[in-house]
Amino acid sequence: MRIIGGEFRGRRLEMPKGADVRPTPDKVREALFNIIKTRVEGESVLDLFAGSGALGIEALSRGASSATFVDIKRRCIETIRKNIKGLPLDSDIEIRIYQSDTLKAIKKLNDSKIRFGLLFLDPPYYGEWVKKCLIYLDRYDIFNHSSLIICEHFKKDIVPDKVGSLGVMRKVVYGDTGLTFYTRRRDEPSPS
């Protein structure tokens, strides 16, 4: 797997070993970043269920100002660290890496008052993870009205159109992969 675009284009990324890690295919990553290309520069990025960290690293390559990676698996955290270590990042780029359950990490990030402009959510397929995470993201104030939450899921999974203050902005399908884009609905206040 390689970084597709930006400053680090063409650099190889390590992949965590094990059949339970499903990396975002290159074509899907490329399509995703073509959709959000004007929203990456200068943003603070959260990569949940990060795996290799490919989505957050791709965002850094394209000008994101910081990235936070969350995964519960130790081998994924080690892989993210290796992948980050190999990048010539500017000293002002802030990187946070947490080995944690995603729902607990969302709460912890809320407690630390960190806010994100782009949130990538790439949970295991075939489960209620998207809905559970969206409920937590809606409950805890780690993003603002202009933020974008991008959920990767199996194309046949039913993902909610609305969760609390969050609503679907766009849905696209590439092969077996669905991408659903959420924003806070304009008529909804931020949690307090």
Domains identified in the chain and CATH numbers: 26-184 (3.40.50.150)
In this predicted model, what pLDDT tens digit does every residue of 46-105 receive, in sequence order? Answer: 999 999 999 999 999 999 999 999 999 999 999 999 999 989 999 899 999 999 999 999
Q: Which residues contact 132 (CB under 8 A, 6 or more apart)?
A: 103
Collapse the DSSP code of 134 into the 3-class scheme (helix H, G, I; strand E, B; otherwise coil) and give the result.
Answer: helix
Tally of helices (H runs) and strands (E runs) in the chain? 5, 8
- Taking CA atoms, 39 is separated from 32, 34, 69, 148, in Å, by 11, 10, 19, 9
Please give the pLDDT value at position 173: 95
The CA angle 162-166-168, to the nearest 5 degrees, is: 60
pTM beyond 0.85: the answer is yes
